[in-house]
Amino acid sequence: MKTEGRNAVFELLKTGKNIEKILMQKDPQGSLLKIFAEARKRGVRVQFADRRALDRESAEGRHQGVIAFSAEYEYAEAEDIISACGGDGLVILCDGVEDVHNLGSVIRVAECVGADGVIIPSNNSASVTEAVIRVSAGAANHVRVAKVNSLNRAIDKLKENGFWAYALEADGQDIYKADLTGRIALVVGGEDSGVHRLTREKCDGVLSIPLRGSVNSLNASVALGIAAYEVLRRR
């Protein structure tokens, strides 16, 4: 797997994961020197190349002068996420988030808010790719992400372990009036379909963020950010 961009590569180096090599532009400046120093400290091989070589290796042309090569992304197990939760656990579930930019942003929010993990379905969902890692600013290398065959069964398992599951939708209870104590699982829906009906029925409730403008919905990752930080604020 390739990890592109200065923030994403530096965060990858901080994880201690196995990195085969780093391809870096010649005559590095600024934050590239910081990445080079960290790579040297970890014993990771750094190969210098011109801009054209980096452009050829880049998936989207956004390498910012550095690309890291490592093994494929290693998913966690949902059970590992649950077992790692403390008394006030917080888990994020993505129901049909197919856009890599949204998934990357969701993972970034999850890591920043200190969530115990993110659970995504195997089908009808974006996976953790190079683009997702880049959009997450490297957060995907720090937060557990599990891929499951059934999101609904994952919700059942969370509820068996003391979690209250809430779907984030437009027609639910005002999140600022809801009881958000205890272990919480937040389910964010896809870009167009939202949370699917059967998944919504599995949840203990539906939470909504008040909207005051003319547009009737928020981007999935923005809605999650507001909701997750409201959970954190209550704690």
Measured distance CA(57)–CA(67) in Å, rounded: 8
Give burial (CB, 10 Å; 0-12/13-18/19+) of 161. Answer: middle
Q: Are 62 and 157 in contact (CB under 8 A)?
A: no
Q: Give per-residue burial for 28-57: e unless 16+ CB within 10 Å, then b.
A: beeebeebbebbeeeebeeeebeeeebeee
Superfamily name and number for 2-70:
Ribosomal protein L30/S12 (3.30.1330.30)
Q: Residue 9: what pLDDT?
A: 92
Give the separation between CA 5 and CA 57, rounded to whole angstroms. Answer: 12
Tell me, what's the pLDDT at 131? 86
Tell me, what amino acid is at 216? N
Contact 42, 35 (CB under 8 A): no
The encoded tokens of residue 115 equal 């969530």
* pLDDT, block means (10 residues), the chain with 235 residues: 90 87 92 94 92 87 89 91 90 95 96 96 90 89 94 97 95 94 95 89 96 84 95 92
78-234 folds as Alpha/beta knot (3.40.1280)
Amino acid letter, residue 225: G
- Measured distance CA(82)–CA(136) in Å, rounded: 22
Q: What is the pTM of this model?
A: 0.81
Q: Are the C-beta atoms of 92 and 158 separated by less than 8 Å?
A: no
Q: What is the pLDDT of residue 118?
A: 98
Q: Which two tokens stand for residue 222?
A: 């923005």
Kindly tell me the sign of the dihedral angle through the C-alpha atoms of 16, 7, 53, 60. Answer: positive
Residue ranges of the chain assigned to CATH 3.30.1330.30: 2-70
The confidence score (pLDDT) of residue 226 equals 96
